[in-house]
């Protein structure tokens, strides 16, 4: 065991917020230490309700997450918030826009907020988000809210992490039904039309409900509710929390929760494997002169990229089998 990992894991399991903050820093940094910590805590996960919050930039996701966290606390639940922010082009760290909008929550020990940088990741989620969810879960947080960066068409990744996906729309952002983009309509378990005090909100709600009737589904399937809200005014938040709890109850009674958990695990393991293979193949020392020469041939259009990738995979497999 790497030095300090077991001590930190024990402190996280005891609910130490300082230990949780340190563990999340390890998770973001990655490497063997983060992997060891994740392995130590993983058997203690699987208890938290995980909700992904996604939607277009400017739709009020952070304000809604703040309001949902306050409702959960009023109901006696502890909350973890993972706010995935864009990366600074200079430092690579999170810009912390979401943290600024949730500053008042920091005084409540029952709410833990962590901003994480995308570091160029597609899908609105950073690579460490799944590990961060595990740490929040192991630390005893009842509800974990994961807010994505809001990049539009790549938001579907959130469904590979959360039990329930909440998609936020607003009237007047150019598309009356923004959720139609890139299949986001289909990933939502709950639709929220935020800023419902604006003109056109009723129309957006009506159009979303009409579009949902066009999606083929069985009689037993969950029908995503479309709920108006004004998060900045704390209006309509309780029905959203009720809908999320209702969806979790449906997942449990229908058996869909276990199926969804298996899909989440499968997607996560495959993503980790892809990252490991990429890191191995593109490592400067593992690449060697032969690999560098092959990439140069691709640049000169002498070898196709697909053929090069397969050759790299074959080399990696042979090196692994040979223990080199």
Mean pLDDT of the chain: 84
Q: How confident is the model at residue 175 (pLDDT cuts 50, 70, 90)?
A: low
Q: Are residues 95 and 226 in the same domain?
A: yes
What are the tens digits of pLDDT across the range 126-142? 678 899 999 999 999 99
pLDDT grade for 99, boundaries at 50, 70 and 90: low
Looking at the structure, tell me whether residues 72 and 167 fall in a common domain.
Answer: yes
Residue 112 has pLDDT above 90, yes or no: yes
Q: What domain range is 61 assigned to? A: 45-254
Q: CA nearest 190: which of 264, 246, 252?
A: 246
DSSP state of 38: H
pLDDT at residue 173 is higher than 70: no
| pLDDT per residue as tens digits for the range 234-287 | 999 999 999 999 999 999 999 999 999 999 999 889 888 888 887 777 665 566
Element holding 16 (H helix, E strand): none
Same domain, 304 and 187: no
* 138 and 197 inside one domain: yes
Question: Do the domain assignments include residue 260?
Answer: no
Q: Are both 242 and 305 inside the same structural domain?
A: no
**How confident is residue 17, by pLDDT bands cut at 50, 70 and 90?**
very high
Question: Exposed e or buried b for every residue in 176-191, given b needs 16+ CB within 10 A?
Answer: eebbeeeebbebbbbb
What average pLDDT does the segment 84-107 reach?
A: 57
The Cα 49–Cα 244 span in angstroms is 9
Q: Which of 42-51, 82-91, 192-201, 292-301 has the lowest mean pLDDT?
A: 82-91
Same domain, 195 and 230: yes
- How far apart (Å, rounded) are the C-alpha atoms in residues 188 and 148? 14
Within this chain, do residues 98 and 22 fall inside the same structural domain, yes or no?
no
DSSP H or E run through 133: helix 129-138
């Amino acid at each position: 065991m790497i030095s300090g990992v077991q001590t930190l894991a024990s402190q996280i399991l005891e609910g130490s917020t300082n230990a949780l903050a340190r563990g999340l820093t390890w998770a973001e940094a990655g490497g063997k230490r983060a992997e060891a910590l994740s392995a130590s805590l993983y058997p203690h996960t699987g208890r938290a309700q995980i909700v992904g919050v996604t939607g277009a930039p400017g739709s009020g996701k952070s304000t809604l997450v703040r309001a949902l966290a306050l409702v959960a606390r009023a109901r006696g639940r502890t909350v973890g918030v993972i706010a995935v922010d864009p990366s600074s082009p200079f430092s690579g760290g999170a810009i912390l826009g979401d943290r600024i909008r949730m500053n008042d929550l920091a005084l409540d020990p029952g709410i833990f907020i962590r901003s994480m940088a995308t570091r160029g990741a597609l899908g609105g989620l950073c690579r460490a988000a799944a590990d961060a969810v595990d740490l929040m879960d192991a630390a005893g947080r009842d509800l974990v809210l994961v807010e994505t960066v809001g990049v539009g068409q790549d938001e579907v990744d959130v469904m590979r992490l959360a039990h329930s996906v909440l998609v936020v729309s607003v009237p007047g952002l150019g598309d009356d039904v923004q959720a139609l983009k890139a299949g986001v309509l289909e990933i939502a378990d709950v639709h929220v039309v935020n800023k419902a005090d604006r003109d056109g909100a009723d129309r957006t709600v009506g159009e979303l409900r009409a579009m949902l009737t066009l999606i083929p589904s069985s009689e037993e399937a969950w029908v995503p509710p479309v709920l108006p809200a004004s998060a900045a005014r704390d209006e309509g938040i309780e029905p959203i929390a009720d809908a999320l709890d209702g969806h979790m109850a449906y997942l449990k009674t229908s058996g869909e929760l276990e199926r969804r958990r298996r899909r989440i695990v499968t997607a996560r393991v495959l993503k980790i494997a892809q990252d490991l293979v990429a890191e191995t193949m593109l490592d400067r020392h593992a690449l060697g002169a032969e690999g560098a020469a092959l990439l140069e041939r691709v640049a000169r259009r002498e070898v196709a990229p697909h053929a090069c990738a397969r050759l790299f995979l074959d080399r990696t497999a042979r090196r692994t089998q040979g223990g080199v």
